[in-house]
Chain A
């Protein structure tokens, strides 16, 4: 709580002032409360999310799994502040982000979210270090860039351009970029989707280690059910609804996962 207020001083305090009652009831770090997302295509209304509720704790490694079109991407978009929900409430670290306007959402993304894309989305024209810098430029309390790059094992390649790196290395850069922002939540969209098996596993390991070492909540979105074994919590999505939420008491280390 206290920390988050330091993080976002410019957001109105009232929005963070959660009533005592609510504070008592709520202990979750992130909470989705009956979130719906309905797209109107002319007369037809399609519900991408038809009422989704779940929580994520601080420092939790969450895997959201589901088939294509199940709604996991919509969850990611809404959770990542890239899209708004049609109905329901979303709380992140006690803040109700479901009411945010575009500008507030940007601020939210800016300070609270780290994003790891399936296709890395590195800026081709910037070196590894500069790609990380691109993110740290705009946040208040970034981690040390060099340390972060070292942490993802790319110290030697800091001066290289993305095109000179392998896919796995590029994804490491993406993770470093997300991490360097010192976010509350690391959102990973199919982080291994474009990688080969071994590299994918290295990346997953990095994510898992990051979660453990930095105490950052990590949400990995994947269609690959094999990855569920490594999550502290596994949320399965189907047809815009939560199919199941499983707490995994003993998540497997990445090394032991086969997919």
Chain B
């Protein structure tokens, strides 16, 4: 039976090359994907391990919280099983390249870099230039993802980024790059985080060991004897290394305690000094404040006094003027009185004057009369006397004369008596008159005098008042000036006080923190770290392990398709061989014997397919996957590890699947009786399909549409096979193009839609509040800058669900304008999330890494070792880096310290690159600026990376094409062979070739379309899966697939379908019509 069976089977294969080929190829593809993707994991690990071994990557690394001494090294060296030991230093420094600040990790190269030197660990692979030979030379990292703007020959000026000067740690502060290197110590651009700069190390640098000044080593690297014999990703390796690890841990406790006390006392001393400085500063400040206050107070007192004296002066003057005025008034009154008196006197005088004059006249008349009388009297007397003398005179006559004489004498006496009275009266009258006149005159004179005096006085008053007014004005002005000066002084003082106090508070907070840190300083601790704690080792291992996810999904899918292809094909072959089976059965062959032909057929196809799949798959896929990852990792080219076990198991699995499918296909026929088998198989009956129940739809369909619809639902296995296969093809295409879309979109999104600023300006740590405000003002005034705002940006570590992530905490005082610079929106939405005091916003990738969602809590350690809880209030879209945004109020609440702006983010007016350069230079000249980062260059350097991803797309497109071809070829092949009679019949009926093709292909095309549409959905999932796996820890790739990519994927799938149809058209054309006349087999 053996040879006959073989012959029969081989003939069957020869007769049906297409079917054999489709089974073989789908098996090959399935195995290639399964074994290929799976093999890439050990291949990647093997390549990495090889690299580690070749470059003597340390097996163990000893670090201590207090550094390590030479004694420590010699103690460790005593331990058995150590091959090489390298005690070394690392230090993080800052350097400026093109005004952009980079954080650099400096490692040491041993003096002896000879290959024979077993103590030369973590060796470097020179990519360009040479190794440093003398002091002042360095080599830097050959970066993979982003090219550094540093060439061999460039000189790098380094800064410590801390209080201490760099010269305390390194011999030089400027190193010339003499070469670029790679090292297994860092496989990717992820070097780690740092306490300085922006917190993320950009690249590493290596300088000779003796460039480090410090006595204390930061770490001790060592290799374990014979550890290279193991694959370090195997457990056996760790078992081997563990002996040495434990031995070191045993001496750790003793060694570290010795260090502790001296360190602590040293730190306390330093802190005390700083405290003293602070106190001094505080005192000086307070003293200065006091002096200033006193000055102000004095000024104030002076001012008050001035004001008081001014007002007193005013009063006094006013009094004076008032009394003056009263005097004038009195004078005026007196004058009035005088005038009145004068007038009255004058009147009286005028009135009395005529009387007096009359009296005077009378008197004068009297006097004249009297005088005349006297004279007459005298005469008469004389006459009488004369007469008396005359003696003749009788006595009577004598007597008469005597009497007359006596009377005369009497009258004369009276007159003579009267006269002296009259004269004085007259004189008195005259005097009186004169006096009256004089009196009047005098009064008039007095009035005149008085008036003159009054006029003088009034003038004096006027002058006095004017003078006083001028004086007051001057005084008031002086007062006002004094007041203004005082107020200004007050404001200046207040400002000085606030800013001084703020600076002081800041200092105080820092001091308190430092003190607390010191008090909380952990117990001394040595860490003996094996490769489990080595980032690159673990990172690359996890990347390799992540391929497991793809290795699970792909093969499942391809095996399903393989099973369906095999099932449909074998079913067809069995159907064709029906009468043969019957004959064999009739001849007495057993079931197994009969089935073995078909099983052998499938087996041969599977074996050849597996062989082909293993050969191609296990070289192509690991290479493609390895190279794709090597965009981010710097491993040498892949070295394959033999994986016969995997090859065999993959082959066995797929063979089992095909054989099972074959058995399933042949089983039914085998159970039938030979008699039944000899008769033609009843053709598969037509059935109404569900769609026919929807009469209104069915009625509207054309005849051809109805036929197509029926056929579609008639063969469920083929329907499934085609739809699944084609959907797989489209899914691969969608994923392939989607990868490109997603990665290329993130730069634009990150630096255009999310971080909308163009420049970020880091301020120096010690910048003062006032300097900061000054700079802000200056920036706002710059016409090249369209907007600027200050933010606080600092790195911290967050903890959640046992995950630990380094994040950048961002807060902004001005939460109103922040959305102009940083858009905080969830992915797929334009709605800006508010920064509230109820919680923080975190970036999406962070939430994914920490497995947290809105409403959960996170713990933040902002560098002080204290974990503080915050609630997440929202997740925002973000692609590069991890961010945690919080409102300033919340910041204060959480950290008990007010956020200090340390970064200015700037939006530029439209600028050319030259102008940008100039602006960068200008900004760097500011003394409070520590670095300037422009975001315009990032997009360009990233697009190069994208371009190199295209070969992944090519591989996926090829795989998709193969899948589509096999499935469609098989479908058409089976369809045609099964419907040979039907096709021949319609040819006889007079269908043209093209109509025949349409009749057959309409289903294919429809199935392809259905499959392709399903595939679009499937592709989204596949794309997600691949993106999730491919993502780096702090970069989130987009999840976007451009509509065009869907369209192209759909188009390519349809094109594949068309190509298969065109190929099969020839076969269709060749179908002889005579087939329709043959009897049913």
Chains A and B come from one and the same complex: yes
A residues neighboring B (CB under 8 Å): 73, 76-77, 80, 82-83, 103, 106-111, 113, 115, 117-119, 121, 123-127, 130, 133-135, 137-139, 161-164, 177, 181, 189
The listed residue (B707, B714, B989, B991) touching A130 by CB distance below 8 A is B707
Q: Which residues of A contact B988 (CB under 8 A)?
A: 80, 82, 109, 115, 121
- B981 CB-CB contact with A under 8 Å: yes
The listed residue (B684, B990, B993) touching A138 by CB distance below 8 A is B990
Q: Which residues of B contact A107 (CB under 8 A)?
A: 990, 992
Q: Which residues of B contact A82 (CB under 8 A)?
A: 987-988, 1073-1074
Best-surrounded residue of B706, B989, B993 (most CB of chain A within 10 A): B989
CB distance A73 to B1077 under 8 Å? yes
Best-surrounded residue of B704, B707, B1077 (most CB of chain A within 10 A): B1077
CA distance A117 to B987 in the complex (A): 13
Question: Please, what's the 1-or-0 string for B687-711, where 1 marks a CB less than 8 Å from any CB in chain A?
Answer: 1000000000000000110110011
A to B CB contacts below 8 Å, 30 in the list? A76-B1077, A77-B1073, A77-B1077, A82-B1073, A83-B1073, A106-B987, A106-B991, A109-B989, A113-B990, A115-B989, A118-B1079, A119-B1079, A119-B1080, A121-B981, A121-B984, A124-B685, A124-B982, A125-B710, A125-B711, A127-B686, A134-B703, A134-B707, A134-B986, A137-B703, A137-B704, A162-B683, A162-B685, A162-B686, A177-B989, A181-B989
Interface size class of B (residues with CB under 8 A): 20 to 34
In the assembled complex, the CB of B718 is this many whole angstroms from the nearest CB of chain A, namely 13
CB distance B707 to A117 under 8 Å? no
CB distance A110 to B686 under 8 Å? no
Q: Which residues of A contact B947 (CB under 8 A)?
A: none
- B985 CB-CB contact with A under 8 Å: yes
Residue of B nearest to A127 (CB): B686
Residue of A nearest to B685 (CB): A163
- B682 CB-CB contact with A under 8 Å: yes
CA distance A161 to B1076 in the complex (A): 19
Q: Which residues of A contact B714 (CB under 8 A)?
A: 125
In the assembled complex, the CB of B1002 is this many whole angstroms from the nearest CB of chain A, namely 13
Residue of A nearest to B995 (CB): A138
CB distance A125 to B707 under 8 Å? yes
In the assembled complex, the CB of B988 is this many whole angstroms from the nearest CB of chain A, namely 5
CB distance B1074 to A77 under 8 Å? yes
Q: Which residues of B contact A73 (CB under 8 A)?
A: 1077
CB distance B990 to A161 under 8 Å? no
CA distance A103 to B992 in the complex (A): 7
Q: Which residues of B contact A77 (CB under 8 A)?
A: 1073-1074, 1077
CA distance A118 to B1073 in the complex (A): 14
The listed residue (B685, B1074, B1076) touching A121 by CB distance below 8 A is B1076
CA distance A106 to B714 in the complex (A): 29
Interface residues of B in 1026-1081 (CB under 8 A from A): 1073-1074, 1076-1077, 1079-1080
CA distance A189 to B991 in the complex (A): 20
CB distance B986 to A110 under 8 Å? no
The listed residue (B686, B710, B985, B990) touching A111 by CB distance below 8 A is B990
Q: Which residues of B contact A133 (CB under 8 A)?
A: 703
In the assembled complex, the CB of B970 is this many whole angstroms from the nearest CB of chain A, namely 20
Given contacts A76-B1077, A109-B990, A111-B990, 7 further A-B contacts (CB under 8 A): A121-B981, A121-B985, A121-B988, A123-B686, A123-B707, A125-B710, A162-B686
Q: Which residues of B contact A80 (CB under 8 A)?
A: 988
CA distance A134 to B987 in the complex (A): 11
Q: Which residues of A contact B686 (CB under 8 A)?
A: 123-127, 161-163
Residue of B nearest to A115 (CB): B988
CA distance A139 to B992 in the complex (A): 12
CA distance A80 to B1073 in the complex (A): 10
Q: Which residues of A contact B989 (CB under 8 A)?
A: 109-110, 115, 134-135, 138, 177, 181
B residues neighboring A (CB under 8 Å): 682-687, 703-704, 706-707, 710-711, 714, 981-982, 984-993, 995, 1073-1074, 1076-1077, 1079-1080
CB distance A117 to B685 under 8 Å? no
Q: Which residues of B contact A181 (CB under 8 A)?
A: 989-990
CB distance A163 to B682 under 8 Å? yes
CA distance A82 to B710 in the complex (A): 28
In the assembled complex, the CB of B1076 is this many whole angstroms from the nearest CB of chain A, namely 5
CA distance A241 to B490 in the complex (A): 135
In the assembled complex, the CB of A11 is this many whole angstroms from the nearest CB of chain B, namely 13
Q: Which residues of B contact A113 (CB under 8 A)?
A: 990
Q: Which residues of B contact A163 (CB under 8 A)?
A: 682-683, 685-686
Q: Which residues of B contact A162 (CB under 8 A)?
A: 683, 685-686
| 5 closest Cβ pairs, A-B complex | A110-B990, A163-B685, A161-B686, A109-B990, A82-B1073
CA distance A162 to B686 in the complex (A): 7
Q: Which residues of B contact A126 (CB under 8 A)?
A: 686, 707, 710
CA distance A174 to B494 in the complex (A): 110
CA distance A80 to B1072 in the complex (A): 13
Q: Which residues of B contact A121 (CB under 8 A)?
A: 981-982, 984-985, 988, 1076
In the assembled complex, the CB of B707 is this many whole angstroms from the nearest CB of chain A, namely 6
CB distance A124 to B990 under 8 Å? no
Q: Which residues of B contact A109 (CB under 8 A)?
A: 987-990
In the assembled complex, the CB of A163 is this many whole angstroms from the nearest CB of chain B, namely 3
CB distance B706 to A130 under 8 Å? yes
Best-surrounded residue of B683, B987, B993 (most CB of chain A within 10 A): B683
CA distance A107 to B711 in the complex (A): 26
CA distance A115 to B1073 in the complex (A): 12
Q: Which residues of A contact B704 (CB under 8 A)?
A: 137
Residue of B nearest to A193 (CB): B1079
In the assembled complex, the CB of A187 is this many whole angstroms from the nearest CB of chain B, namely 9
Residue of B nearest to A111 (CB): B990
CA distance A181 to B991 in the complex (A): 13
Q: Which residues of A contact B986 (CB under 8 A)?
A: 123, 134
CB distance A106 to B990 under 8 Å? yes
CA distance A139 to B995 in the complex (A): 13
Q: Which residues of B contact A106 (CB under 8 A)?
A: 987, 990-993
Q: Which residues of A contact B992 (CB under 8 A)?
A: 103, 106-107, 110
Using known A-B contacts A82-B988, A124-B686, A161-B685, determine if residue A117 contacts B1076 with beta carbons closer than 8 Å. yes
Q: Which residues of A contact B685 (CB under 8 A)?
A: 124, 161-164
CA distance A124 to B1080 in the complex (A): 13
Q: Which residues of A contact B993 (CB under 8 A)?
A: 106
CA distance A137 to B991 in the complex (A): 10
CB distance A124 to B707 under 8 Å? no
Q: Which residues of B contact A164 (CB under 8 A)?
A: 685
CB distance A139 to B1077 under 8 Å? no
Residue of B nearest to A110 (CB): B990
CA distance A110 to B992 in the complex (A): 9
CB distance A130 to B1074 under 8 Å? no
CA distance A82 to B703 in the complex (A): 26
Best-surrounded residue of A73, A83, A103, A110 (most CB of chain B within 10 A): A110
In the assembled complex, the CB of B278 is this many whole angstroms from the nearest CB of chain A, namely 94
Residue of A nearest to B682 (CB): A163
Residue of A nearest to B1079 (CB): A119
Q: Which residues of B contact A161 (CB under 8 A)?
A: 685-687
CA distance A126 to B1076 in the complex (A): 17
CA distance A10 to B491 in the complex (A): 106
Q: Which residues of A contact B991 (CB under 8 A)?
A: 106, 110, 138
Q: Which residues of A contact B987 (CB under 8 A)?
A: 82, 106, 109
Using known A-B contacts A134-B986, A138-B989, determine if residue A124 contacts B683 with beta carbons closer than 8 Å. yes
The listed residue (B684, B703, B1073) touching A124 by CB distance below 8 A is B684
CA distance A177 to B990 in the complex (A): 12
In the assembled complex, the CB of B761 is this many whole angstroms from the nearest CB of chain A, namely 75
CA distance A170 to B704 in the complex (A): 21
Q: Which residues of A contact B707 (CB under 8 A)?
A: 123, 125-126, 130, 134
Q: Which residues of B contact A110 (CB under 8 A)?
A: 989-992
Residue of A nearest to B680 (CB): A119
In the assembled complex, the CB of A249 is this many whole angstroms from the nearest CB of chain B, namely 32
Best-surrounded residue of A118, A137, A138 (most CB of chain B within 10 A): A137
CA distance A110 to B1077 in the complex (A): 17
Residue of A nearest to B1078 (CB): A119
